[in-house]
Amino acid sequence: MTLASALLLAYVLWRASSIPRFREIPRPAFLFAVLFLALLLFLGRFLGHDASGSWAAIFEFLSMTMIGALFLVFICLFPVDLLLGFGRFFPRRAAQIRGWAMLAGCLLALLALFQGLRPPRIVRYEVRLPGLPPALAGTRLAALSDLHLGALIGPGWLQARVSQVLALNPDMILVLGDIFEGHGASSADFLPALRRLKAPLGVWAVDGNHGSHGSPSASVAETDASPLRTLRDELVQPAPGLFLAGRRHLSRHDTQQAVPEWNPSGKHAPGALVLMAHVPAAARSAARAGVGLMLSGHTHGGQIWPLSIATRMVNPLLAGRYEIEGMTVLVSRGTGTWGPRMRLWPPGEIMLVTLRSQ
């Protein structure tokens, strides 16, 4: 990632040096700006990423924001460069057109930063769940995903998200993986906020691919000290007739193993089944295992366009609601962010799911 970011910086600065406005900058000042940006990139990667504390967080934030901005400028600038033949076509207008492309990339970066820093929105769903007892109709599930707590998303942000969830008065709270980023602030710093999470039918979680901070064992111990009950290929019954299964994170894990007690003989047990799985894969096998509702995250909805196009190729269930063989799948765009605090286009989200009986 460091090499790719350095190449992006070199390319953008190279093309910027051909724009008349930038040519007016004295050469020593331009070289100083180049060295400053390169140093910021270095400090963010090797100090901000691997350390903790306020200075490390500042370096990490500035560095990751710069990387995100460079990417969006590149996305706007490089196609223009190709169409202009790198200045061979329309040579009198090429520099000006290149300047407008860089401006468009900077404006997109500002919008993406605004979207990434704003509070996640509440996205509401109603799901008719097969086998749900009529007495449980109206049960409300609040689901968060991909918090990525650590260097860039701190305890204050988490406190605000907890308040946002509690204001919904959910019957059950679900955390769909990637709670911790794996570097930055210690996961122990987040426990006071996590302990505030309470719901009548419990607070449940599953693992994600960013689940470890430092050593995996230390992270698990700290997480288990919180009110989150992590389900790792386990099945629980929060209320009579409502079952909840949690799938351990493995990239291509068989979903049937997450519900071993539910459908061992191919027959439906009485009641309704909700499955939490961080990655929205194996949805069809989940439906055939008797799952009525599957909740996932991981994709971030692509987070920054046009990465969403590539993300959809890997994860066809990118974000939103899907119906798979009679089962409803809800894929969260993520509550936090990974990498830069940027999103293009939709902001982060907290899902509020109201269950209805059929």
Q: Considering only 47-51, 121-125, 180-184, 287-291, which range has the smallest mean pLDDT?
A: 47-51
Give the pLDDT of residue 203.
97
The three-state (H, E, C) secondary structure of 28-90, written as one string = HHHHHHHHHHHHHHHHHHHHHCCCCCHHHHHHHHHHHHHHHHHHHHHHHHHHHHHHCHHHCCC
**Which of 143, 333, 125 has the alpha carbon at shortest distance from 228?**
143
- How many angstroms separate the CA atoms of 265 and 243, rounded? 17
Which residues is 37 bridged to in the sheet? none
C-alpha triplet 138, 147, 296: angle, nearest 5°: 50
- How many angstroms separate the CA atoms of 234 and 257, rounded? 9
Tokens 């990498």, residue located: 339
Write the pLDDT tens digit of every residue in 192-209: 999 999 999 999 999 998
Higher-scoring residue by pLDDT: 41, 320: 320
pLDDT average, residue stretch 47-70: 82
Give the pLDDT of residue 334.
97
In this structure, what token pair is assigned to residue 168? 């919904």
Give the pLDDT of residue 31.
85
Give the pLDDT of residue 265.
42
**Which of 267, 321, 313 has the alpha carbon at shortest distance from 294?**
321
Question: Which of 254-263, 266-275, 336-345: highest mean pLDDT?
Answer: 336-345
Residue range 121-357 forms a domain whose CATH class is alpha beta
**Which of 24, 43, 45 has the alpha carbon at shortest distance from 35?**
43
Domain borders along the chain are 2-117, 121-357
Our separate counts of H helices and E strands in the chain read 10, 12
- How many angstroms separate the CA atoms of 304 and 66, rounded? 14
Q: What is the CA radius of gyration of the chain?
A: 23
Local confidence band at 225 (pLDDT 50, 70, 90 cut-offs): low
Higher-scoring residue by pLDDT: 127, 57: 127
Give the pLDDT of residue 115.
97
Give the pLDDT of residue 209.
84
In this structure, what token pair is assigned to residue 241? 């007739």
Amino acid type, 229? R
345 preceded by a cis bond (ω within 30 of 0)? yes
Phi-psi label, residue 301: left if phi above 0, alpha if psi -120 to 50, beta otherwise: left
Q: Tell me the whole-structure pTM to 2 decimals.
A: 0.90
In this structure, what token pair is assigned to residue 43? 């400090």
Average pLDDT value over all residues in the chain = 87
pLDDT average, residue stretch 163-176: 98
Give the pLDDT of residue 114.
97
Give the pLDDT of residue 344.
95
% the chain with pLDDT above 70: 87
Write the pLDDT tens digit of every residue in 135-166: 999 999 999 999 999 889 999 999 999 999 99
- How many angstroms separate the CA atoms of 267 and 142, rounded? 29
Write the pLDDT tens digit of every residue in 303-334: 999 999 999 999 999 999 999 999 999 999 99
Give the pLDDT of residue 214.
45
Does the pLDDT of residue 221 top 50, yes or no?
Answer: no
